[in-house]
Amino acid sequence: MTKTELEDIYHDYIACLNKQDWPRLARFVDSDVRYNGNQIGLEGYRSMLEANFAEIPDLHFNIELLVGELPYIASRLHFNCTPQGKFLNLNINGANVSFAENVFYKFHDKKIVQVWSVIDKTAIEAQLMAYSDRGDA
Minimum distance of a second copy from residue 71's CB (angstroms): 10
Least distance in Å: CB of 78 to a second copy? 10
Does position 117 bind a second copy by CB under 8 A? yes
Q: Interface with a second copy includes 120 (CB under 8 A)?
A: yes
Kindly state whether residue 69 participates in binding a second copy, applying the rule CB under 8 A.
Answer: yes
Does residue 74 belong to the site contacting a second copy (CB under 8 A)? Answer: yes
User: Is residue 93 left, alpha or beta, with left meaning phi > 0 and alpha meaning psi from -120 to 50?
Assistant: left
Amino acid at 2: T
Least separation, in Å, of the C-beta of 119 and a second copy? 7
Q: Is 130 helix (H, G, I), strand (E, B) or coil?
A: helix
- 83 is a contact residue toward a second copy (CB under 8 A): no
- Rounded to 5 degrees, φ, ψ at 6 are -60, -45
Comparing CB distances to a second copy, the nearer of 51 and 67 is: 67
Distance, in Å, from the CA atom of 54 to the CA atom of 101, rounded to the nearest integer, reads 19
Decide: is 65 part of the binding site for a second copy (CB under 8 A): yes
The four Cα atoms 120, 125, 126, 131 give a dihedral, to 10 degrees, of: 140
Q: How many CB atoms lie within 10 A of CB 123?
A: 12
Please give the radius of gyration of the chain, using alpha carbons only, rounded to the nearest integer. 16
Nearer to a second copy, 19 or 69 (CB): 69
**Residue 119 in contact with a second copy, rule: CB under 8 A:** yes
Binding site residues, a second copy, CB under 8 A: 3, 65, 67-69, 72-74, 76, 88-89, 100-104, 116-122, 125
